[in-house]
């Protein structure tokens, strides 16, 4: 009965942003979903505080981390990702409550954890593919625009920058083919900045000022803060779920936590780029450990 009520509540929350569908913008609907999600997470935290087991707290931390991603995607105008994030956050909070209220039901715990592992693997892969599809389409548009502008108004410096853009873009597509999605996303982001900068330079030379949307995170400090929060959540979750007897998952967790320590040291030394790279590697290893644990 409890689980049924919770699932009904989650369904209500997921639909909250559609209550006034013909009268509101997608941003307004998202803001409603985020408000109801935030209230639900606070209520879940109170319920979970009564339980002494680690798994509910670990899943709730993941729910909070996913909410942070929703907020960042809302800020950058990536509404489709934001909707997925907030719904995923609410689902995780439901799972956390179910575990807290059924801590002695090992069968239910296994079902919930297996579902989380499956959804985690699917979500990470599909999200990266979606980011790459979006990024490739945007960069192609700006490259085409720059080529057209240069044809009408030749500019030697802009032409050099466009050449660099194409090289970085080609490298990103090669990484996609190789399945190296993380590096491909980094290259796509760099190509986007170069392509938009090229178009702005050409237009500025003509006396026009144009601006383009920034990616979700553009400042290194913002990127670092985001990666720290994400890694915190996965480190807690993996450390809670993966048991010492699980050889390969345990090895991946140990390796992931070692990279986490490297990142923390890099942060102390002021090496933001190294810290970000180490945190991303750590998080990816922790996710792999969780996937292996669920098999």
Convert the pLDDT of each residue in 117-156 to its tens digit. Answer: 777 767 777 878 888 888 899 999 999 999 998 888 888 8
Answer whether residue 289 is part of any domain.
Answer: yes
pTM for this prediction: 0.65
Answer whether residue 244 is part of any domain.
Answer: yes
Query: Are 200 and 260 members of one domain?
Result: no
- H helices of the chain, in order, are 2-15, 26-48, 54-75, 79-101, 106-152, 156-178, 181-205, 220-241, 247-268, 272-294
| Under 8 Å between Cβ of 253 and 239 | yes
**CA trace torsion 51, 52, 55, 60 (10° rounding):** 50
Query: Are 232 and 193 members of one domain?
Result: no
Handedness of CA 124, 130, 132, 138 (dihedral sign): negative
Q: What separation, in Å, do the N-terminal and C-terminal C-alpha atoms of the chain show?
A: 29
Query: Are 92 and 26 members of one domain?
Result: yes
Answer whether residue 214 is part of any domain.
Answer: no
Domain final residue, candidates 179, 205, 231: 205
Query: Are 3 and 78 members of one domain?
Result: yes
Query: Are 22 and 82 members of one domain?
Result: yes
Label residue 149 exposed, middle or buried (CB < 10 Å: 0-12, 13-18, 19+). buried
Using alpha carbons only, how large is the chain's radius of gyration in Å?
A: 22
Query: Are 201 and 225 members of one domain?
Result: no
Answer whether residue 120 is part of any domain.
Answer: no
Query: Are 199 and 225 members of one domain?
Result: no
| 216 DSSP 8-state letter | S
Answer whether residue 40 is part of any domain.
Answer: yes
CATH of residue 9's domain is: 1.20.120
| Under 8 Å between Cβ of 192 and 168 | no
The pLDDT assigned to 2 comes to: 47
pLDDT beneath 70: ranges in the chain:
1-24, 121, 209-219, 294-295
The pLDDT assigned to 17 comes to: 46
Q: How many domains does the chain have?
A: 3
Answer whether residue 111 is part of any domain.
Answer: no
Answer whether residue 235 is part of any domain.
Answer: yes
The pLDDT assigned to 117 comes to: 75
Q: Which long-range contacts (CB under 8 A, 24 or more apart) does 204-208 make?
A: 205/153, 205/155, 205/158, 206/153
Domain final residue, candidates 205, 236, 255: 205
Label residue 78 exposed, middle or buried (CB < 10 Å: 0-12, 13-18, 19+). buried
Tell me which residue range forms the domain holding 137: 130-205
């Amino acid at each position: 009965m409890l689980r049924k009520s919770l699932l009904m509540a989650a369904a209500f929350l997921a639909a909250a942003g559609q209550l006034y569908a013909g009268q509101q913008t997608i941003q307004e609907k998202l803001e409603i979903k985020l408000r109801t999600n935030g209230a639900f997470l606070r209520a879940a935290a109170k319920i979970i505080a009564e339980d002494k087991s680690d798994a509910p707290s670990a899943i709730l931390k993941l729910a909070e981390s996913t909410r942070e991603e929703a907020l960042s995607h809302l800020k950058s105008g990536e509404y489709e990702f934001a909707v997925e994030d907030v719904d995923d956050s609410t689902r995780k909070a439901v799972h956390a409550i179910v575990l807290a209220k059924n801590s002695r039901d090992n069968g239910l715990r296994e079902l919930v954890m297996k579902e989380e592992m499956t959804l985690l693997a699917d979500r990470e892969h599909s999200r990266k593919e979606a980011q790459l599809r979006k990024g490739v389409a945007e960069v192609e548009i700006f490259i085409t625009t720059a080529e057209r502008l240069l044809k009408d108004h030749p500019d030697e410096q802009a032409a050099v920058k466009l050449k660099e853009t194409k090289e970085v873009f080609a490298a990103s597509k090669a990484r996609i083919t190789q399945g190296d999605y993380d590096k491909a996303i980094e290259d796509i982001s760099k190509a986007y900045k170069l392509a938009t900068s090229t178009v702005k330079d050409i237009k500025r030379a003509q006396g026009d000022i144009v601006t383009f949307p920034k990616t979700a995170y553009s400042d290194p400090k913002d990127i670092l803060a985001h990666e720290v929060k994400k890694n915190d959540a996965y480190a807690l979750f993996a450390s809670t779920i993966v048991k010492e007897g699980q050889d390969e998952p345990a090895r991946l967790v140990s390796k992931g936590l070692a990279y986490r320590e490297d990142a923390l040291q890099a942060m102390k030394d002021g090496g933001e780029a190294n810290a970000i790279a180490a945190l991303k590697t750590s998080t990816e290893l922790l996710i792999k450990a969780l996937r292996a644990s669920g098999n």
